[in-house]
Amino acid sequence: MNEQGLSEREIFSYLENAKSEDTDYYRVFSSMCTRPHKIAIEANRLFIEANLGDLGLFAGAHKLEQEVVRMLGNLLHASSIDVPSGGLCQSSVCGYLTTGGTESNIQAVRGMKNLVTAGKKEFKGTPNIVIPASAHFSFDKVADMMGIEVRRASLDSEFRVDMASVEKLINENTIGLVGIAGNTEFGQIDPIDKLSEVALENELFLHVDAAFGGFVIPFLEKPQPFDFKVPGVTSIAIDPHKMGLSTIPSGALLFRSPSFLDSLKVSTPYLTTKSQFTLTGTRSGASAAATCAVMKYLGYEGYRKNVQYCMELTSKIVEEARKLGFEPLIEPVMNVVALKVPNPDLVRERLLKKFGWNVSITRTPRALRLVLMPHNSPEDIELFLEDLKKVTAE
Ligand code: PLP
C-alpha cells in the first residue's frame, strides 16, 4: 500500500489492466461457473454490505436467504418432509447458503460426524464415509480437516459408482455415504435410489453432491431421481453460482432434518443471534439477494430454457466431434462431455497456446473434458472443432 492513496482514475486503470488478463469466459469450456445473470448482478450490488453472519442486523437479507432455502426445497422435492418451520427451516426443509460445493460438502460430513458422536456410537477405529472415486476433491479436504477416513468406491463402465464396491467398503465405522448427482468430470449421476436403499438398510446418512447437477437434472427431459423424493437422502449440496446463474460465492446446503443444523451449532456470545451453524462467520448477504432475484426472475421456465440451450450445445459438439472421428467416453447425461482424442494433454496445451481455448482433462481415463455452459455459443463450437481438427492433425 502507498502512503498516499491513488486517484479514482488511477485505480480503475489499474483494475482494468488486471481485468484484461481474465478470460471473461471467452473460449472457456473448462468451467462449471459462468457469467451471472444481469438480475443477479444488480441484486448483488444492492445488498453488497449485508452480513448474514450477523442476522439480527440484516433482517432483510436474512429473509431473502430463507426464501432461497424455501425455493430450493421445492425444487428438490422437500415437500414430502415433515419438518416444523422456523429459524432456517422453511416449512419442509432446513438449510443455509454456503460459499459453494466445497463448504457444503464439508458441513454435510461435519453434521454426520457430530450426530453420530452425539449418539455416543463407539468406533473400533477411525469413522469413515464411502464416496465414489469420481467425487470432487473437496472430499480430500474433508478427510484432512475432520479426521475421517474417506473410502473411495470404484466406478462402473459408465462412470457411476459401483454398488458392489460401495457395499464392500461399508464397515462398523462407516457413518455415511455420498452420491454425486452430476459428477465434475463426466457429468454422470450416481444411482441415488440404490445408494438410498443401502443407506437405509445400514442406518447411514446419505449426502448428495448436486453442486453442479442441482440446477440441471430437474430441467432435463428425463430427470433421474436424486433429491429428497428419494427416502434415504439426508442432505443435498446445490450451487446457485454454477448453473443457477447467480453470483460467486453462492452455494447451498439443505438438510432433511433440523437435527443436522442443531449438530452444527456453536454459541456466538457477542452477536445479535445466540448461535451459528454455518462454517464461515461473516457471510455474503449479496449472494443471497442475487440468488433470490435470479430464481424468481427466471422461474422454472427460465431454468428449463437454460438447460435446454446447454443440452443443445452438448448434442451439437458430440455430433460434430463424431464426424471428426472423436467419440465421447459416455453418451452425455448432462452438459459435460469427455471426448476421446489421441494424446489429450498435448491437445489441451496446443488448443490453449495456439487458439486460446480453455479445456480440461479427465483423470482416469484421460480425455478432453468440455463443459457446455450458457456463455458458449453454437459458433464457438464450430470454431473450436475446426481448431481441434488442426491440432490433432499435427
Ligand atoms: N462438487 C461438485 C460435483 C463440483 O463439480 C464442484 C466444483 O466444480 C464442487 C463440489 C466444489 O464447488 P466449489 O468450487 O463451488 O466449492
What's the pLDDT at 82?
Answer: 55
What's the pLDDT at 266?
Answer: 87
CB contact burial 278-293 (16+ within 10 A = b; e otherwise): bbeeebbbbbbbbbbb
| C-beta of residue 334 within 8 angstroms of C-beta of residue 221 | no
Binding site membership of 184 for ligand 1 (Cβ less than 6 Å): yes
Binding site membership of 101 for ligand 1 (Cβ less than 6 Å): yes
What SS3 class is residue 165? helix
Q: How many helices (H) and strands (E) does the chain have?
A: 11, 13
Distance CA 192, CA 200 (A): 12
Atom of ligand 1 nearest to the CA of 182: 3
Residue-by-residue DSSP string for 28-56: B-S-S--PPPHHHHHHHHHTTT-BTTSGG
Binding site membership of 100 for ligand 1 (Cβ less than 6 Å): yes
Distance CA 29, CA 336 (A): 9
Lookup result for grid cell 495456439: 354
Q: How confident is the model at residue 124 (pLDDT cuts 50, 70, 90)?
A: confident
Atom of ligand 1 nearest to the CA of 100: 15
Distance CA 319, CA 379 (A): 15
Binding site membership of 136 for ligand 1 (Cβ less than 6 Å): yes
Binding site membership of 61 for ligand 1 (Cβ less than 6 Å): no
Q: Which residues pair with 205 in a beta bridge?
A: 176
What's the pLDDT at 121?
Answer: 76
Binding site membership of 98 for ligand 1 (Cβ less than 6 Å): no
Residue among 138, 236, 280 whose CB has most ligand 1 atoms within 8 A, to mutate = 138
Residue 174's closest CA among 193, 155, 198, 149?
Answer: 149
Q: Which three cell numbers stand for residue 52?
A: 448474514
Longest dimension (CA), the chain: 66
Cα dihedral sign, 365-368-141-287: negative
Q: What is the mean pLDDT of residues 223-248?
A: 97
What's the pLDDT at 91?
Answer: 55
Q: Going along the chain, which residue ranges are E strands? A: 89-90, 93-98, 128-132, 149-153, 174-180, 205-210, 235-238, 251-255, 266-267, 275-276, 336-339, 360-361, 368-371
Tell me the CA distances in angstroms from 233 to 50, 146, 179, 209, 252, one per residue in order.
Answer: 32, 22, 9, 11, 16
Binding site membership of 211 for ligand 1 (Cβ less than 6 Å): yes
Binding site membership of 138 for ligand 1 (Cβ less than 6 Å): yes
Binding site membership of 291 for ligand 1 (Cβ less than 6 Å): no
254-263, 318-327, 331-340: which has the minimum mean pLDDT? 254-263
Residue 88 has pLDDT above 80, yes or no: no
Helix (H) or strand (E) run with residue 344 in it: helix 344-355
Q: How confident is the model at residue 118 (pLDDT cuts 50, 70, 90)?
A: confident
Residue among 103, 105, 192, 212 whose CB has most ligand 1 atoms within 8 A, to mutate = 212
Residue 239's closest CA among 79, 97, 139?
Answer: 97
Atom of ligand 1 nearest to the CA of 183: 3
- Residue 389 C-alpha to ligand 1 middle, in angstroms? 31
Residues ≥6 apart with Cβ < 8 Å to 289:
43, 44, 46, 47, 50, 61, 64
A 10 A CB-CB count for 380 gives 18
- Residue 329 C-alpha to ligand 1 middle, in angstroms? 21
Residue among 102, 185, 243 whose CB has most ligand 1 atoms within 8 A, to mutate = 102
Distance CA 292, CA 243 (A): 14
Residue 328 corresponds to which amino acid? P
Residue 293 has pLDDT above 80, yes or no: yes
Q: What is the mean pLDDT of residues 329-344?
A: 97
pLDDT, one tens digit per residue, over 34-68 is: 999 999 999 999 999 999 999 899 999 999 999 99
- Residue 211 C-alpha to ligand 1 middle, in angstroms? 6
Atom of ligand 1 nearest to the CA of 241: 15
Q: How confident is the model at residue 83 (pLDDT cuts 50, 70, 90)?
A: low
Residue 348 has pLDDT above 60, yes or no: yes
What's the pLDDT at 92?
Answer: 64
**Is the ipTM of this structure higher than 0.90?**
yes
Q: Which three cell numbers stand for residue 1?
A: 500500500
Tell me the CA distances in angstroms from 249 to 21, 97, 277, 280, 286, one per residue in order.
Answer: 21, 9, 18, 12, 9
Residue 292 has pLDDT above 60, yes or no: yes
Q: What percent of the chain has pLDDT over 90?
A: 87
- Residue 168 C-alpha to ligand 1 middle, in angstroms? 27
